[in-house]
Amino acid sequence: MVWRSLDDDSRAILRRWIQEMVRGMRGFVLDHPHGIRIASMDEFRRYCYYVAGTVGHLLTELWYAHSVFVGPRTFERLGDDCEAFGEALQTVNILKDIAWDAEHENAVYIPADFLAARGSGHDTILAVDRREANLAALEPLMRLAQDDIERALRYIEALPTTALRIRLFCVLPVLFAVATMRELERSDAMLAPGGGVKISRSEVKALVVAGSTSTLSNPSLRWLVDRVRKRPFGLRVP
């Protein structure tokens, strides 16, 4: 029923990018029938493109098709960073859920060559005696996540402040990703059996309120991001 209610342009956009996503993910499923095991950074980035970069394109084309605030010049600027907008969120999710993915999905997305360079591997991703090595193996992905978050922020800044609903839609998940990265950089819980990293409910609530206000200007957004990177937002710290 929802599909039938869409206009032709929206259907074409959805069809194009969903087909791209499905084609790519089908390849990963066929290549890894017993559980995904990422071999290299190139494969990692290809996976993130199909899972999340495609969503960045899809959303950007929908903004252009339906928002009076997204004209040709804005659309062109958004196109430069739309893949990174989606992929940043995906990389952060992968990093925080390493243990869960390994234990519940039989999937390890940390590139094998990063682990091998530190004397570890997919089979020992949660091993206590390899914790330090595995943590070091995450460094390239941590840098990638931070770089893509910066590009995601540029994506948001390219949106006119008059496009409030679109900006809010984009701002909140990026703020949550920034806060999660702060915790990931201080923890190794994501490499412990049954472990994981997440931000508190109180910080989520505080970011929803502050994030709504930060959509009004790019300087406000940058201030909030810098603040969140330093310590949990909305909590009293001695």
> Among the residues of the chain, which ranges form H helices?
2-5, 8-31, 41-48, 54-66, 72-96, 98-104, 112-117, 131-137, 139-158, 164-184, 201-214, 218-230
User: Residues in the chain, how many?
Assistant: 238
Cβ count within 10 A of residue 153: 23
Domain contains 238:
no
Cβ(50)–Cβ(10) below 8 Å: no
Domain contains 166:
yes
Domain contains 236:
no
Domain contains 11:
yes
Exposure string of 166-175, with b = 16+ CB inside 10 Å and e = fewer, is: bbbebbbbbb
Q: What is the CATH number of the domain that holds 91?
A: 1.10.600.10
Q: Is residue 156 helix, strand or coil? A: helix
Q: Quote the CA–CA distance of 221 and 24 in Å, as a whole number.
A: 34
Cβ(84)–Cβ(151) below 8 Å: yes
Tell me the pTM: 0.94
Domain contains 184:
yes
Q: Quote the CA–CA distance of 111 and 40 in Å, as a whole number.
A: 5
One digit per residue, the tens of pLDDT, for the chain of length 238 reads 577 777 888 899 999 999 999 999 999 999 999 999 999 999 999 999 999 999 999 999 999 999 999 999 999 999 999 999 999 999 999 999 999 999 999 999 999 999 999 999 999 999 999 999 999 999 999 999 999 999 999 999 999 999 999 999 999 999 999 999 999 999 999 999 999 999 999 999 999 999 999 999 999 999 999 999 999 998 554 4
Domain contains 235:
no
Cβ(119)–Cβ(133) below 8 Å: yes
Residue range(s) defining the domain that contains residue 208: 2-230
Q: Quote the CA–CA distance of 171 and 159 in Å, as a whole number.
A: 11
Domain contains 109:
yes
Specify the number of domains making up the chain. 1
Domain contains 108:
yes
